[in-house]
Structure 1
Amino acid sequence: MKSAYDTPALRRSALILDAVASSSTSLVAADFSKKLDLPKSTTHGLLLTMQELGLLKKATDGTYQIGPKIMHWAHAFLNQTNLVQEFQHVMLDYSDLDDHTITLSVLDGNNVVYLSCRNSRGPLGFTFKMGMHLPAAFTATGKIMLSALTDEEIRLRFDHEWPEKMTNRSVSNIDQLLTEIHQIRKSEISFDNGQIREGMFCLGVGIRDFSDQVIAGLALSLIESEATESNIDRVISTLRKISVDLSERLGAPRTNMHPDD
């Protein structure tokens, strides 16, 4: 929504940068005029100024690319962004989940490593700890991060070694894992139905960064008796909101977020 302080030139410059960043082909000045419905003279003036400021660079064939100044800002953004701090900040808005265990993890080879854990006040029968490693193939966060890879990439990861099962429910081979992964890609929600500990049920979502890549997994753990259909639906809805909130704080674009967010 535009405010009383809206600056048209700045807004148009941002739209030009968005067009360059999202286009699958290189754009020339006429493309911007057409895409943004701007007079050629206005477009020309904006492009010259953006080149002068290092926001764009012009190739010899007349096409435009993102300029070096943008990378300078991107590096500054990354230096100021801390995944764990952002996670902890976002979770302050979800005190209604205090009775549940919430974990944040990243991939470390074929394992996940836990960066932050907020254990529930009630008994879960399993305590997550910072720095803990668990097999990615069995965990909700691991499965959601693996789902961002291709089937071939996943097969290559587990080509030489399969993790030792932690429970009778742990997936036994790559084909079982890929069956779960295919479903996860459709729903964008992962499940651990007692594969880490019998009687514990976990749901996971992915966390994206400014490059729109899944860089981490977020999971909520329940005891199996709490995993009713209505409770799961409620938890999934909340997890998706947390995923969007945290991903946005890391610079992820909203365009590829879940439509219900």
Structure 2
Amino acid sequence: MQARHSPHAPRTSASPALVPALSRALTLLERLAQRREPMSLARLASELELPKSSVHGLCSTLLRYGYLARQDDGAFRIGPGVMPLAEAFVSGTGLTQEFNALWAERAPDETVILSVLNGRDVVYIGARNGQRPLGLAFNVGMRLPAHLAATGKAMLAFHAGAAVRELFAGAELTRMNGRGPRGIDELLVELGRTRERGYSVDDEAVRAGVYCFGAPVFDAAGEPVAGIGVCLNKTTLGADAGAEHRDTVLRVARTLTQRLGGRAPAATQD
């Protein structure tokens, strides 16, 4: 049996030949990252549609290099070996450097995060945890569903509706705290509101008591390349419904867009 193609893998006819064993190993890592929970050898073999003997060999190799870790019950999870790869990517990203430069002299009062889209998830490539306690620590390399995270919705809102439908085709929209869109149509309505006002809101969809504003960072073509988020304890929103924090996330997003030589799109996309 052959492993299912990753939803993120290129499918063009011009794609170069792939190394099967490497493709399977990367697909296995992606599946563990997507599931966000340890998985047994049998479950991995079933979901990847591969023989147990093949999956055993892949896991043994990935364990050897630290890309997987094994629990006492035998289940596998992502290992610490992936962190140097993430750190190497982040250190070479101008976007991250510009983000970190904003807070070189003073730490933000609230938690400020920078993420990029990776398939149906966001991956955090920058995080400045604020001086006020939040109850949720954001770390570089952390992944969350894009349809729930404020930064993810800020970026998705500036993708064409057809592209968003294709991205989530056949996917169940996870709900982490009993909140969030129940289906693609509900998600598109929320993205439309986000596009109109220029910022997104995560109202406890990721974690109870945590409220986030998000805004997109654009490149020179007016395409969203990252998302900025400001996260705070919902009880501190105040009478202005967090207007100060909303303005902060919009200002930081504009600053990063300008430093990247980017521009906001001239017109919204349908």
TM norm structure 2: 0.61
1:140–1:219 Cα contact (<8 Å) kept = yes
1:248–1:254 Cα contact (<8 Å) kept = no
Residue number in structure 2 paired with 1:4: none
1:103–1:220 Cα contact (<8 Å) kept = yes
In 2, the alpha carbon distance for the partners of 1:118 and 1:195 equals 21
Residue number in structure 2 paired with 1:104: 114
Report matched runs for 1:113-132 at 5 Å: 113-132=123-142
Report SS of the residue matched to 1:198.
coil
Report SS of the residue matched to 2:240.
helix
In 2, the alpha carbon distance for the partners of 1:172 and 1:214 equals 24
Q: Deviations over 1:198-230 (max 9, x none)?
A: 110000011012222110000000111112342
Residue number in structure 2 paired with 1:71: none
Select which of 178, 187, 192 maps to 1:168: 178
Q: Deviations over 1:8-67 (max 9, x none)?
A: xxxxxxxxxxxxxxxxxxxxxxxxxxxxxxxxxxxxxxxxxxxxxxxxxxxxxxxxxxxx
Report matched runs for 1:1-261 at 5 Å: 82-92=94-104, 95=106, 98-230=108-240, 232-253=242-263
In 2, the alpha carbon distance for the partners of 1:245 and 1:202 equals 19
Report SS of the residue matched to 1:230.
coil
Could you tell me how far 1:81 is from its partner in structure 2? 6.8
Higher helix share: 1
Structure 1 alignment gaps of length 5 or more:
1-79
In 2, the alpha carbon distance for the partners of 1:163 and 1:148 equals 19
1:90–1:246 Cα contact (<8 Å) kept = no
Report SS of the residue matched to 1:178.
helix
Larger radius of gyration: 1
Could you tell me how far 1:187 is from its partner in structure 2? 0.3
Counterpart code for 1:181: L
Structure 2 alignment gaps of length 5 or more:
1-91
Task: Calculate percent identity across the aligned residue pairs.
Answer: 32
TM norm structure 1: 0.63
Counterpart code for 2:214: G
Aligned residues: 176
* 1:253–1:160 Cα change, 3 Å: closer
Could you tell me how far 1:237 is from its partner in structure 2? 1.7
Could you tell me how far 1:235 is from its partner in structure 2? 1.4
Report SS of the residue matched to 1:207.
strand
